[in-house]
Chain A
């Protein structure tokens, strides 16, 4: 970390977001949490999708990657499996994650890699001027479809381990959730899914509406986030009542992908030194097995 001070690398960019955009809160909270958790910039791999939120990696000192539209999760999983010593954070918007990339979210819930996925949900396509997104409510710009609830979707996976929703208008809680997410992945417990309600002030300003609708489930007496049934029931009930639950909605236990598939007697893939013939014995075994 000390090295960063005198080595010149890219100068983190100024955010391109509109004044008042919810994404500022996400970045602020993320920077604070990374600092608090003592994660040095060179250990952080920040992958982002396409959209307004998909520029967050440019604004932080880190190893940053700008993924193809919708493909941030597979890229993040590849990076984590290749080098589990990195703190891998994927970030993107609701279009990137729930429309073009929805298939990958399903399979990331299934596989439970120890990465964080922050979805900055603004319920529209801000970067392309406000088109309907998968979380837009029925009626928004003549939207005929109903909105997708990613937390309810996540709850249906037995392998889900961390489901949370924050609100940019509640940065204190968002900070707690971000820290919990980092703690979850740093302790190798699997996939930390954090959706942040992050209003788009330019095309679909939901700030006031969401402030009225959010319901802080962390403060609900008797709510047990380890009880999947309760998490389902409360989320559905609140939805019926026109409320949006925010907080640590579900905590589960499941082996992480990297703990299941990496060969524990070997260095992780990224740490193999190319050109050092350390696996010659296996190569010879391979040849022998085809000798017949």
Chain B
């Protein structure tokens, strides 16, 4: 009997010894390859447990991976040059229209992704108009529109940190040249107005739409070559006698792939669903895009 127990204990202890703590985390890939710009790094992170703090640094970085980056069938050597950051050994410019392939070997996993670099985009011009006087507007520090609450009048949604104030409306129209008409792919345009303000009336902005995502071919033509998009945002002021505070406005335009569009549209509710990933075997996004931003001063 004693021997039997000894064998069982031995097996048990051996079993304990044999079991290594298993890392169940997933790899998260992030890389945006911008047309005409140097090839970007590929950032590899790991998912983390819910109950722990999430550290963007070393604790969640995925180290020890091997990255194979191919642009138009040409391999580009990538090595880890920071904690979880893998970059090309030498600067290489992203070629518009080029096909992209990514392979990441991490442990016994092989992660793959494909994409394409769109034609470059540039903001040809931006026109900005500011309302003459401040007007009443809803001020809400957070917006959450729940259909159930909307059905029951949404009073709870409105009741959170809501107040009425005065706002200036700033309207901006962006113009860019559509150089994709000979391209077979459908490209998506993400346009954004980002005012550099301390406070933002988010409820008003929810309705004013300072950001949009649409198929490029559905954006209206301003003239034979240029397409345009108009957006607006609100700037709150304490009283009707106040001038609009001078502030910087970053105007951005991104031409992206369908994968990027799905990623952006799927990112709006991070507490209830994760954005769709175009990376096989991991989370994240690996995509080509074209981007242009400029910052103007509004006053």
User: Do A and B truly interact?
Assistant: no
Q: Which residues of A are interface residues toward B (Cβ below 8 A)?
A: none
Q: Which residues of B are interface residues toward A (Cβ below 8 A)?
A: none
